[in-house]
Chains A and B, each alone.
Chain A
């Protein structure tokens, strides 16, 4: 029993990170139809920049804030110098561009930083908390709380602010949004900035637990994308549920079946889910009009 609780906790922790990545995917996708495979690199940058600024002597909180800001700039640059230039290209072309961007960012990180693994100190020490026989790292609670806070803020913003309304309008119908005077391109740029920030925060929250290195982004992006599809592309609640489910599936799969195949188990579950529900868990099933 304590084992299952342990699996549940570690699953929730990773799942929270996947959920954040998936939420970033969804924000950008809703604003622009772009599937941003560079989303995982934001997570990598958040962790790596914090690590290196900290090594360079900056206090941790300042390093963290700087890392978020720099990642946001990277996100904006990605939009301005790649995505925006490719406006009007097909979906496959855009996907390739974002994959290219992720390879590029990985290459840059490898040159600027290094190829080693790095850790950050846990925020509240690393003495595990005992609960029902399971050991929980305090940092896990930080990750969960941080993720919950970000999700709450994003939902509040979309629900309550004019900006949120504009994002919603852009997601629903871009042409109509443009016609009523919403600066659609700026909204899209904003979605990149926001996603970058979310990714960076996810990165610096989770680095004390999972470590980071220049190449953690790829798998992160694949998992985040998979989580978003599992939930149903374009659905923010779907992204979060998808992320958490994916984390749990991985954790229980690794614990109960085979740790070598934990990633494989996660993708098998996604494949089977899509076979049964081709539109994802929260996606709307619509009859194609002719």
Chain B
């Protein structure tokens, strides 16, 4: 299977530190590729580079065989790349379902004049987007909270709301930055199921997650970053046993997480 998303020697530096240093990886449709590494390893920065929020200082990003390096996020979204955020980026003043409806944006076709006049096609489109959004909310288990203002939802619910919103764009690849962080066991379970589901539907997934049990269980491929560099990549079993990974984790994470892994 050919890769949907590839990075080649992707790099960026802030001031003195090279936060992401020549990182290359590839994700295929339906594959779950996890990026792990100690705090500050550059995982979120890597996501920001891939999703067009930061301009790389070197390297390239290919999406479906085309170079997309440095394209703005809204254009990447139109090409089928979306993401969630480690630090929540929620539309707090909108209801949960409206949050997800914004995700339908790239499929909405009516123009601003019809919006001002509330023409029938706009009402039909609103209904359609709402249906799609409701389906995505149901998919992540938030159907009951659809009409609640997002600002009033729990942290765990908001994490899933972000996933639902990203899914509403109908992405070909989804970047999830610590979707289970701060979630309780039940919620983590739910997120595990959703990720599996999404991958099974043929969507490529790039995942950053600190919950090692989750990562080892669902990943097809794992890339380990340390201080911006790719340390190792491979199948979960191989990565788990790799002495360099164990050393890196023992060195920085403390033994607890290494044991959990």
In the assembled complex, A111 has its CB within 8 A of some CB on chain B? no
Inter-chain CA distance A288–B14, complex, in Å, is: 12
Pairwise interchain contact B14-A290, C-beta atoms closer than 8 A? no
- Chain B interface size, as a band, is under 10
How far does the alpha carbon of A290 sit from the alpha carbon of B89 in the complex, in Å? 8
Q: Are B44 and A287 in contact (CB under 8 A)?
A: no
Query: Within the assembled complex, what's the spacing in Å between the Cα atoms of A69 and B231?
Result: 65
User: A288 to B85, alpha carbons, bound, how many Å?
Assistant: 14
Which residues in B have their C-beta under 8 angstroms from that of A290? 44, 48, 53, 85-87, 89
Q: How far is the CB of A106 from chain B (nearest CB, A)?
A: 36
B91 to chain A, nearest CB (A): 15
The residues of A that contact B14 with a CB separation of less than 8 Å are 287
A residues less than 8 Å from B87 (CB atoms): 290
For B85, what are the chain A residues with a Cβ–Cβ distance below 8 Å?
A: 290
What CA separation (Å) do A287 and B55 show in the bound complex? 10
User: Which residues of chain A are within 8 angstroms of B48 by Cβ–Cβ distance?
Assistant: 290
B86 to chain A, nearest CB (A): 8
Interface of B is mostly: loop
Q: Which residues of A contact B86 (CB under 8 A)?
A: 290
In the docked arrangement, what's the CA distance between A288 and B44, Å? 13
Closest to B44 in A: A290
Tell me which residues from 156 to 200 in chain A have a Cβ below 8 Å from any Cβ of chain B. none
Q: A185 CB to closest chain B CB, in angstroms?
A: 29
Distance, CA A270 to CA B86, complexed state (A)? 37
Interface size on A, residues (CB 8 A): 3
In the bound complex, residues from chain B placing their C-beta under 8 Å from that of A287 are 14, 54
Least CB distance from A278 to B in Å reads 16
CA–CA, A287 and B89, complex, Å: 17
Rounded to whole Å, the gap between the CB of A4 and the closest CB of chain B is: 42
CB-defined contacts of B44 to chain A, threshold 8 Å: 290
The proximity string for A residues 262-290 relative to B, scoring 1 for CB distances below 8 Å and 0 otherwise, is 00000000000000000000000001101
Q: Complex formed: what's the CA distance from A290 to B86 in Å? A: 8
- A127-166: contact bitstring with B at CB < 8 Å (1 yes, 0 no)? 0000000000000000000000000000000000000000
For A286, give the chain B residue with the smallest CB separation: B14
Name the interface residues of B1-43: CB closer than 8 Å to any CB of A: 14
Kindly provide the distance from the CB of A290 to the nearest chain B CB, expressed in whole angstroms: 6
A287 (CB) vs chain B CBs: closest residue = B54
**Complex CA distance for A288 and B53, rounded to whole angstroms:** 9
C-alpha gap A287/B86 in the complex (Å): 17
Residues of the B chain whose Cβ atoms lie less than 8 Å from the Cβ of A288: 53
The residues in B between 80 and 118 inclusive whose CB is less than 8 angstroms from any CB of A are 85-87, 89
Tell me the bound Cα distance from A288 to B54 in angstroms: 9
Q: Quick one: closest B residue to A288, CB to CB?
A: B53
- Per-residue 0/1 for B48-74: is the Cβ within 8 Å of any A Cβ (1 yes, 0 no)? 100001100000000000000000000
> Chain A's nearest CB lies how many Å from the CB of B90?
13
Query: Nearest chain-A residue to B48 (Cβ)?
Result: A290
- A207 shortest CB reach to chain B, Å: 47
List A contacts of B54 (CB < 8 A): 287
Query: Shortest CB–CB separation between residue A124 and chain B, in angstroms?
Result: 50
Specify the chain A residue showing the minimal Cβ separation from B89.
Answer: A290
| CB proximity of B166 to chain A, nearest CB, Å | 14
Q: How far is the CA of A288 from the CA of B55 in the complex (A)?
A: 12
Chain A minimum-CB-distance residue to B86: A290
Expressed in whole angstroms, the Cα–Cα distance for A40 and B138 within the complex equals: 57
Complex: chain A residue closest to B55, CB-CB: A287
Measured between beta carbons, the chain A residues less than 8 angstroms from B53 are 288, 290
How near does chain B come to A120, taking the closest CB pair, in angstroms? 50
The digit string for A86-98, where 1 denotes a CB below 8 A from any CB of B, is 0000000000000
What are the nearest 7 A-B pairs in CB distance? A290-B85, A290-B53, A287-B54, A290-B48, A290-B87, A290-B89, A287-B14
**Which positions in B face A, CB cutoff 8 Å?**
14, 44, 48, 53-54, 85-87, 89
Q: Can you pick out 10 interface pairs between chain A and chain B where the beta carbons lie within 8 Å of each other?
A: A287-B14, A287-B54, A288-B53, A290-B44, A290-B48, A290-B53, A290-B85, A290-B86, A290-B87, A290-B89
B-binding residues in A (CB < 8 A): 287-288, 290
**Other A-B pairs beyond A287-B14, A290-B48, A290-B89, 7, CB < 8 Å:** A287-B54, A288-B53, A290-B44, A290-B53, A290-B85, A290-B86, A290-B87
